[in-house]
Structure 1
């Protein structure tokens, strides 16, 4: 697994190759998560890029690693790591909301929510903020206090970002009314 990650690039085809390899064997999946969750590891970012695709395809495989993921979330600072981590949060939020989805513990939900709010108010790249906004909207269906936090953050921040961010913000604000 290490050599596959090491040889990978940011290109989708390369990340898909690594993610498919990780999904084929439990040991590979374990190794990619260990590397991704070690923020000091030289291949941490590359591992996170492929882990994001694993979660997109087969989120259930990620269940044994959710607790560790929640623990590492506050340590993730690099822009290249924040986007896939925030996207994984969004995928978990959507699944957690579905009837037959993955059930997060209340503590896991709160850890993820806290991290998402931090991502939204910090100076992050637009893609990370959009995933955070969308995930918080989903969690807000369960925790109505989130909407009260989300409204002013999105309203104040919307026009400081790209057209894509503004569109997402407008759509969520419409749904919150």
Structure 2
């Protein structure tokens, strides 16, 4: 399947779990489609990019290791994504990567995720925290940043500062997650 054919096929993707799972499985069964999907995801001014983001997130939730060969490309370009419905899945993929990296069990992400990858993820997560993003990307970013704060001592104080500063102006969902993360920071 060419990138153009995949692009056309993404017109049939919607928010339904069934469709996202169908296309995530298509990627998992045809790994040569993953870089093509990322190419479409990073066509950031095209609404179809959001659909590519949805299936990338679903693929990563099913088999995170499938993104390993593309971590450099993914982390280099995530800062360009700006549509709300593409930012949310990108932030979720970043959270998946952080959770896998800090998992108690050994996994391939621990070897594949370089300091450069982590720094790019940290940068985009802080961008999500300080810009006018919706609650979901902020919530995923809080968790991602908390996890990476285990290796980067400067993250927890910066994150706590942002959470405390924005606490009173944010939604109840933000406040609930912020309380949880602030409690974890104080206990770590």
> Could you state the TM-score of these two structures normalised by the residue count of structure 1?
0.93
Gaps of 5+ in 1: none
Over the aligned positions, Cα root-mean-square deviation in angstroms equals: 1.5
Tell me the residue number matched to 2:173.
164
2:147 matched to 1:142?
no
State the distance in 2 between where 1:76 and 1:22 align: 21
Aligned-partner SS, 1:17: helix
Gaps of 5+ in 2: 1-5
State the distance in 1 between where 2:8 and 2:87 align: 23
Tell me the residue number matched to 1:115.
124
Matching residue within 66, 76, 80 for 2:81:
76
State the distance in 2 between where 1:63 and 1:40 align: 25
**How far off is 1:30 after superposition?**
2.9
Tell me the residue number matched to 2:14.
9
Aligned-partner SS, 2:32: helix
State the distance in 2 between where 1:52 and 1:149 align: 27
2:109 matched to 1:100?
no
Tell me the residue number matched to 1:129.
138
Aligned-partner SS, 1:9: coil
- What do the CA deviations read for 1:96-123 (whole angstroms, capped 9, x no partner)? 1225230311111111101110110100
**How far off is 1:41 after superposition?**
4.5
**How far off is 1:34 after superposition?**
2.1
> Could you state the TM-score of these two structures normalised by the residue count of structure 2?
0.88
* Matched length: 177
**How far off is 1:161 after superposition?**
2.2
State the distance in 2 between where 1:35 and 1:68 align: 12
Aligned-partner SS, 1:118: helix
Structure 1 stretch 65-74 or stretch 24-33: which is displaced more?
A: 24-33
